[in-house]
Amino acid sequence: MALSVVDLYRDILPRTNCKDCGFSTCLAFAGFVVSEKHAIDGCPHLLPEVVKRCNEELAAQSAAGKWTKRDLAEDALKWAKERSASMALQDLPDRIGGALIKAAGMPDVLTLPYYTDILHITEADITTASGALLTRWERVFLYNHMAQGGKRHPTGNLKGFEAFPNTVSKIKTMTGQVEAPLAEHFGRDPEALKAAAARLGGVDITGKDNNADLAFGFRPLPRIPVMVLFWNADVADGFAATAKLLFDETIIEHLDIESIVFLSERLRQMLCGESNDEKG
């Protein structure tokens, strides 16, 4: 039989709320077993044959995706990879840049600059030449970049995220998850932004057609430049530090809106030196 949270609580667990499993109630324990794949033998009051029977049912319904918590990153990666599957590898250098390497007896490899690293893209996967792991979200926006179909080179006309169509629902995310954290992190030490930008191959363009206290141009991918503008806090006037990302007007030909957000969040992570716990 299937085991929902209620089934497990009502029919299997002792319902004594003894806390021997480490949870405050039997119902809370049941919720983690069903939706988070927590080990059911964490309850010490179940007979071995009951544990075995429940594990078989839980494994079956988990494999079917029933009642389990969805892995959004894995779902997005699967969709993006399927979306890019129809793209011929040999057509990509003309569209997104990079170079195609052909070797006898070996699969074709597209080498693509990515910040200061080089990506190796094959029909099977995306890795880096240096061996560094990519996050699943990075692979999502890279597959989407391959599938988007754009081929125009950047024009140099840069815009804020909100200036692009269909971004209304994501403006809050861009502000709250990218620009505000950058401002808060480097507001305490603006000079640290220079060192962080240099590590990612950022070019200092402070004062060049912008009024920011600090400005850096990045080239995450050959056809996708990103500019980061930073203004210091003004204590006298009561203004906090602020940060702003600008994108070339052609970016929506190369990335969908969701992928622009992924790209921006990853840039924030790398600039702020945040650990990457979503690899693989």
Which percentage of the chain shows pLDDT scores above 70? 95
pLDDT at 71: 65
Residues 6 or more apart in contact with residue 263 via CB below 8 angstroms: 141, 220, 224, 226, 255
pTM of the entire predicted model = 0.75
pLDDT reported for residue 104: 84
Whether 210 shows a pLDDT value over 70: the answer reads yes
* pLDDT reported for residue 124: 87
| pLDDT at position 63 | 78
Amino acid code (one letter) for 246: L
Contact partners, residue 145, CB within 8 Å, separation at least 6? 96, 221, 224, 254, 255, 259
pLDDT of residue 68: 66
**Structure-block tokens of residue 123:** 């029909």
- The answer on pLDDT for 69 being more than 70 is no
Looking at residue 12, the DSSP 8-state letter turns out to be I
Pairing of strands 99-101, 214-221: unpaired
Residues 93, 85 contacting (CB under 8 angstroms) = no
User: Is residue 275 very low, low, confident or very high in pLDDT (cuts 50, 70, 90)?
Assistant: low
Give me the count of residues in the chain: 280
Q: Which pLDDT value is given to residue 131?
A: 79
Question: Which pLDDT does position 72 carry in this prediction?
Answer: 67
Q: Using pLDDT thresholds of 50, 70 and 90, give the confidence band for residue 14.
A: very high
Chain segment 71-111, per-residue pLDDT in tens: 667 778 888 999 898 889 999 999 999 999 998 888 899 99
- Both tokens of 275, joined, read 């650990």
What SS3 class is residue 151? coil
Please report which confidence band the pLDDT of residue 251 belongs to, taking 50, 70 and 90 as the band edges.
very high
DSSP string, 58-70: HHHHHHTT-SPPP
- Helix, strand, coil shares of the chain as percentages rounded to 5? 45, 20, 40
Q: Predicted confidence band at 165 (pLDDT cuts at 50, 70, 90)? A: very high
Determine the Cα–Cα distance for residues 8 and 15; give it in Å rounded to an integer: 10
Q: In the chain, pLDDT over 90 holds for what percent of residues?
A: 66
Confidence of residue 66 (pLDDT cuts 50, 70, 90): confident
Residue-level pLDDT at 225: 98
- Confidence at residue 1, expressed as pLDDT on a 0 to 100 scale: 59
CB 106 within 8 A of CB 120: no
- Residue 223's nearest CA partner among 186, 246, 255, 182 is 255
Comparison of pLDDT for 165 and 275, the residue scoring more:
165
**Alpha-carbon torsion, ordered 161, 163, 164, 167, to 10 deg:** 60
